[in-house]
Copies of this chain bind each other. A is one copy, B any other.
Amino acid sequence: MAGANVSMVKQHFLDSFLNPKSIAIVGASTNPKKMSYYMVDNLVKFGFPGKIYPVNPAVSEVLGIKAYPSLKHIKDDIDLVASAVPVHMTLDIIKECAEKRVKGVIIISGGFSEAGEEGARMQHEIAHILKQNGIRAMGPNSLGPVNTSNNFLVSFQSVGKLNRGGVSFIFQSGFYELRINWILSDFHLGVSKVLDLGNKMDINEVDALEYLAEDPDTKAIAIHLETVKGDGRKFGQLLRNTSKNKPIIVFKSGCTAAGAKAAGSHTGSIAKENDIVFDALLKQAGVLRAHSIEDLFDFAKAFEFLTPPGGNRIAVATISGGEGVISTDICQKNGFVMAEPSQRALNKLRVIFPPWDIPANPFDYGPCQYAHQLGKIYRVFLQAMLYDDNVDCLAVQLPVFGFYQDSEDLYEPFLLAKEQKKPIAVWRTGLSRRGDVLVERLESNRIPVYPSAERAIKSLSAICEYATMHEEDI
């Protein structure tokens, strides 16, 4: 039986939360105005291949799927239970889960340790029962996991699309709730898995990272942390070992005294980490720190779409000279040096620049537009720079959204950057990720588009920083 044991060790317990063969949704509603309606709807819509058991004593079916009055009424084994019933009803559900010997429970509801003594007491009791019965739990206050590779998601928002890719997320709290659709559907980012851990009563960031470290579909990991609930030393080790192969970005909130106090009252834990210590831990582990929500997602997209450049010499193209100066400041502040393109590359640009203009980096392609189409300008510029050995990476401004008529094939010259393996970050003032054909084309071809020069160049610099931190590992 040794062989069987090895294979059981290899199967991480979080697999039941991301690849369940069956899921029961307790509190599933037939009313599209209720959030719990979408927990079933999303699974059906995206074609989750496992069994779905809606549990609701008031209805006989949900979206054409037979519903059960309680967990006990389900005869088959159940891998995973998602509980969306109010706080005071949760304990009974947990007891049923124990009787039913399910593998895992996701507690969606809030009102536990984050809500004062009574809630903390209930959470404690639930934790006790689960532990006694060997059932692992995500939450309370979890918004549920996502695994795009098997169309599995537990979410009470109606999700538009599932953009598949290599970034996995570990979240702790409700700011994910506000952004579910944006992350999975509108942001054009390729997502592999999402683990929203809520109060971290049982499953914590160490478990989640352990799983994603070994997950072959996960290429980069983005983490939002309020508190570290697991073993800090183990977490540090995991970060260090994992980041050698997979870039990790951490955004930590509750890092000021007031913020830590707020975090304590919110997730029912006291923030113990001193921020300076935490910062040192991340640096030692070769992990990038994001200092805002925007950073976290911007950097994640850079890691998903781009490979680090061979050096820090950057060529910049803007649509006005003023924007060029601003961008150059940003480049220098973020560790880039302005590339000095070869005379050969500069000569190539003569085709698009007016006779009176001397092309120099940062390149102001504004005046080129009076005589040439944007597609030609991009093609000539990108060909010249991408084939030049003096240029390692590029940052290019698109015209303001809605200001010029975008032609459909405008994105094509940018594909050359992929071919030449030189990372390129693009920005567009007034950026819209809905209905902006050019941005959609670029991002579906893994050219990231940001809303400002600052965010584009900072994101490009994040992948450079990662490469520098791990020079010895590579």
Which chain B positions have C-beta within 8 A of A111?
354, 356-357, 367
Asked if A266 contacts B364 (CB within 8 A), the reply is yes
Q: Mark A106-148, 1 if CB is under 8 A from B, else 0.
A: 0000110011101100000000000000000000000000000
Contacting residues, chain B, for A177 (C-beta < 8 A): 320, 366
A255, closest chain B residue (CB) = B329
A187 CA to B170 CA in the complex, in Å? 35
* Contact assessment for B259 and A114 in the assembled complex, using a CB-CB cutoff below 8 Å: no
User: Does A163 belong to the interface (CB within 8 Å)?
Assistant: no
Of the residues B87, B118, B176, B319, contact of A322 by C-beta under 8 Å: B176
Over the window 74-114 of chain A, the binary record of Cβ atoms lying under 8 Å from chain B Cβ atoms (1 yes, 0 no) is: 00000000000001000000000000000000000011001
Docked complex: A424-447 residues within 8 A CB-CB of B: 429-430
Minimum C-beta distance from A91 to chain B (A): 14
Among the 9-residue stretches A210-218, A281-289, A331-339, A461-469, the one with 4 or more Cβ atoms under 8 Å from chain B is A331-339
Q: Contact at A321–B454, with CB atoms within 8 Å? A: no
Assess whether A226 is in contact with B325, with CB atoms less than 8 Å apart.
yes
| Alpha-carbon gap, A179 to B256, bound state (A) | 36
User: Among B87, B110, B256, which residue has its beta carbon within 8 angstroms of that of A328?
Assistant: B256
Per the CB 8 Å criterion, the residue count for chain A at the interface is 68
Chain B residues within an 8 Å CB radius of A356: 87, 111, 115-116, 118-119
Query: Which B residues lie within 8 Å of A337 (CB)?
Result: 258
Number of copies: 2
Q: Tell me how far the C-beta of A301 lies from the nearest C-beta in chain B, rounded to whole angstroms.
A: 16
Q: Is the CB of A324 within 8 A of B262?
A: yes
Once the chains bind, are B174 and A320 in contact (CB under 8 Å)?
A: yes
The distance in angstroms between the C-alpha atoms of A255 and B319, with both chains bound, is: 20
A383 contacts B by Cβ under 8 Å: no
Residue A172 at the chain B interface, CB threshold 8 Å: yes
- Closest Cβ–Cβ distance, residue A352 to chain B (whole Å): 15
Q: Complex formed: what's the CA distance from A87 to B319 in Å?
A: 19
| Chain B residue nearest to A122 in the complex (CB) | B356
The answer to whether A259 and B325 touch across the interface, beta carbons within 8 angstroms, is yes
Measured CB to CB, the nearest residue on chain B to A357 is B115
| The one of B267, B293, B429 that contacts A321, using a Cβ cutoff of 8 Å | B267
Give A166 to B282 CA distance when docked, in angstroms: 46
What separation, in Å, do the CA atoms of A325 and B262 have in the docked complex? 5
A149 at the interface (CB under 8 A from B): no
Contact assessment for B119 and A329 in the assembled complex, using a CB-CB cutoff below 8 Å: no
Task: Determine if B253 and A322 form an interchain contact, defined as CB atoms under 8 angstroms apart.
Answer: yes
Cβ of A182 within 8 Å of any chain B Cβ, yes or no, is: yes
Bound CA span A175–B326, Å: 9
Residues of B contacting A333 with CB < 8 Å? 256
Given contacts A177-B320, A178-B323, A253-B325, 8 further A-B contacts (CB under 8 A): A111-B354, A174-B322, A182-B429, A253-B329, A255-B329, A257-B332, A266-B325, A292-B452
Interchain Cβ contacts under 8 Å between A and B, 29 examples: A110-B367, A111-B357, A111-B367, A116-B358, A173-B321, A174-B323, A176-B322, A178-B323, A178-B399, A178-B429, A182-B430, A226-B322, A226-B325, A253-B325, A253-B326, A254-B328, A254-B329, A255-B329, A256-B329, A256-B333, A257-B332, A258-B328, A258-B329, A258-B331, A258-B337, A259-B328, A265-B358, A266-B364, A294-B454
